[in-house]
Amino acid sequence: MVYQQAVSLFCLRMINKKSMETQNQYPQRDYSEIISLAHQVIDLPVRKAQMLLKNLDLCTITYTWNDVSQITLEVVFKTSTLTCLFNQNDICEAVYLFLTDNKDLMKYIGHCVKTYTYDFLLDGWTTDKCHISICRSENQGCFLLILPLKKIL
C-alpha cells in the first residue's frame, strides 16, 4: 500500500512537471543535503520530523482509508520531492526522493557512492540506520527509496 501511494504521488508530480518548472519557486538544495534530510527523518515521530523540516515549505497530508489514517510530509525542491510516510504510530517508515529530472539521478548516485557502503545483497547503500535503493516507477521515472534497516533486515 505504501508503494502504491508513492507511485500515485509520483505520477501526479510527472503530470504537473511543466507547471513546476515554470514556477521556479522551489529552493535549491545540494543532493547530499537532500539525502541527509531523508536519512535524518527515518524513524522520527511526526512532530520531530516537522521540526527538522520547519524552515522548508512543508506540506502535511493525511490519508484515510478503511478508518486508518496515515500522515505524509512533503517538501518540494528544484531537483526532487522529499516524501516522508508515517505508520499508524506516527513514526517515519519510509522516505521517497522523487526526481524532477532523471538526469539528476547520477548526481544522487555519485553522492551515495562517495558517502555510503554499497550492499550487493540488498542492492543499495546502507548507512548506520537506513537503506537507500533506486527504484523505477511504472511510467519510467526513477526515485530513491530510503527505508529503516530494521524494516529491511
Could you report the per-residue pLDDT of 49-107, keeping only the tens digit for each?
A: 999 999 898 999 998 888 888 899 999 998 899 999 999 899 999 999 999 888 899 99
**What ranges in the chain are assigned the alpha helix state H?**
2-15, 17-23, 31-41, 46-52, 105-115, 149-152
Contacts of 68 (CB under 8 A, 6+ apart): 88
Average pLDDT over the chain reads 83
13: left (phi over 0), alpha (psi -120 to 50) or beta: alpha
The one-character DSSP state at 78 is S
Do the Cβ atoms of 69 and 62 come closer than 8 Å?
Answer: yes
